[in-house]
A and B are shown apart, each in its own frame.
Chain A
Amino acid sequence: MVAAGGQHLITYFQAIVIGLLQGVTELFPISSLGHAVILPKLLGWNLSQDKPYFLAFLVATHLATALVLFLFFLPEWVRILKGLGRSLRDRQIGHDDPDARLAWLLVVGTIPAGLIGLLFEHKLRSLFASPTAAAAFLAVNGLILFAAEYLRRRAPGAEARARELERGAEADTSAEAEKRLATLGFREAVGVGTAQAAALFPGISRAGVTIGGGLFVGLTHEDAARYAFLLATPIIGAAALLKLPELVGHNGDGVRGQALVGALSAGVAAWFAIKFLMRYFQTNTLTPFAVYCLFAGLAALLVFVF
């Protein structure tokens, strides 16, 4: 779209930068929404983030991220969906069917966050969408990640599960990882899933709180990340699909080209981000991200306040 002054509302360069940023920060535990609010302000870009054209643009980048997440874990999703079908057919979740159990863990984990998002997303976003609030929440996200490492395996029974899972982790295929995830209880799944709703505050990371929740209940970093990404796929995808009419309707007029470029950038960035993170969490912790969020949040807060 070309504004009255002859300038594009979003340039193609901005679309690429925001797309790359979205693809990486949606999956890294550092908050995509927080960065989407803070970075343009730091770069001096005059983007009206609450305007329909920008929301339409973001729909495309989120859809691309969700699609890449789905494709990256496609073999897992095929097994999970088959398990879901089997359980519905048999009207029970078999003891020897980890795919079915994982499917229902994802369902019960998605429902509370989905409901909270549906009912409060708009209110929370309009209340806290200022760069200053996002910077403060980014610092809080750093503290949450520190706490997640400190509170690792502190949930009742988490230590025992962690020891049990470590013994069974030799044959480490994705199917084996699914079996480990399927040992979660339904209450734990609801707790970890509900934590996703914290990401409605710009600056709090969905991946961060869900990985933290997974660590709390005794999962390894790698399994917690896998669970967080599986849990994120339906909710990011559904949120994007729900808002798709904004992109295809008149709100998307003039930004569809930029949205396509932004979506491609987000998709490529998301693919490499997942590959990196799944390898990273085999041996590493959330601590570097906690340090980054705390200092980046505080630095941005100082810039915006003074």
Chain B
Amino acid sequence: MRNDRLLAALAALLGLVLIAIGVTYIALTEHDIPSFFPGHVSHPASHHHIKHGIAAILLGLACFAFAWFRTGPREAPAAPPG
């Protein structure tokens, strides 16, 4: 159970980070995003990496879904027939 909680907490944290990355990609131009982000350019530019942002947000939501189910009630295994 303790491992489940830890895994869920890590997934939720990763989800938060990914969503923050996604928002950064969408909100900032490819010049303004941090230089360690894939897609960063050093010259001035007005292009936004919208698709990178959506991809990161989707992954973040997937992490949240994982954490949500991981901390949910465990269903008892189905009783054997007869």
With a cutoff of 8 Å between Cβ atoms, the chain B residues found around residue A95 in the complex are 75, 78
Size category of the A interface is 10 to 19
A119 touches which one: B52, B62, B72, B75 (CB < 8 A)?
B52
A111-B58, A114-B58, A115-B58 known; A92-B69 Cβ under 8 A = yes
**A260 shortest CB reach to chain B, Å:** 26
B54 touches A242 (CB 8 A): yes
A115 touches B55 (CB 8 A): yes
Minimal Cβ-Cβ distance residue in A for B70: A91
Asked if B71 is at the interface of the complex by the 8 Å CB criterion, the answer is: yes
With a cutoff of 8 Å between Cβ atoms, the chain B residues found around residue A94 in the complex are 75
Interface of A is mostly: helix
A91 touches which one: B54, B58, B62, B68 (CB < 8 A)?
B68
Asked if B5 is at the interface of the complex by the 8 Å CB criterion, the answer is: no
Minimal Cβ-Cβ distance residue in B for A122: B51
- How far, in whole Å, are A242 and B58 apart by their CA atoms in the complex? 14
**A245 shortest CB reach to chain B, Å:** 10
With a cutoff of 8 Å between Cβ atoms, the chain A residues found around residue B71 in the complex are 91
- How far, in whole Å, are A150 and B72 apart by their CA atoms in the complex? 42
Asked if B73 is at the interface of the complex by the 8 Å CB criterion, the answer is: yes
- How far, in whole Å, are A242 and B51 apart by their CA atoms in the complex? 9
- How far, in whole Å, are A88 and B71 apart by their CA atoms in the complex? 12
Interface residues of B (CB under 8 A from A): 51-52, 54-55, 58-59, 62, 65, 68-69, 71-75, 78
Interface residues of A (CB under 8 A from B): 87-88, 90-95, 107, 111, 114-115, 118-119, 242
